[in-house]
Amino acid sequence: MRTPISVKDLELIALREIRSFPGGEYVCHVEVIPASADWRLHATVRDGADLNRIQHAAAATTFRLKHRYHLRTDW
């Protein structure tokens, strides 16, 4: 069973998790983009970021968080 979570809380968790990956320190903001019953992450990075590493970190984080949480619908 997945835990309901607000968009803002999910963004904070995703940012923390992505920053824990090598190269993740270049991520300065993460936005959750809701799409009907699903969602995706959008990461904003600073100059010097290795985009391949960031994409890997974002994809791995999205996979983990989608299995752990679902967006609350009462926002």
Task: List the alpha helices (DSSP H) in the chain.
Answer: 7-19, 51-68
Residues 6+ apart with CB under 8 A from 45: 26, 27, 28, 51, 54
d(Cα 12, Cα 56) in Å, to the nearest integer? 18
Report domain 3-71's class: alpha beta
Q: What is the phi/psi pair of residue 38, to 5°?
A: -120, 180
Which of 16-20, 34-38, 52-56 shows the lowest per-residue confidence on average (mean pLDDT)?
34-38
Q: What is the pLDDT of residue 38?
A: 87
- pLDDT, mean of residues 41-66: 96
Per-domain boundaries in the chain: 3-71
Residues 6+ apart with CB under 8 A from 61: 14, 17, 18, 21, 41
Q: What is the pLDDT of residue 72?
A: 86
pTM flag (> 0.75): yes
pLDDT tens digits, one per residue of 12-30: 999 999 999 999 999 999 9
pLDDT band at 45 (very low <50, low <70, confident <90, very high): very high
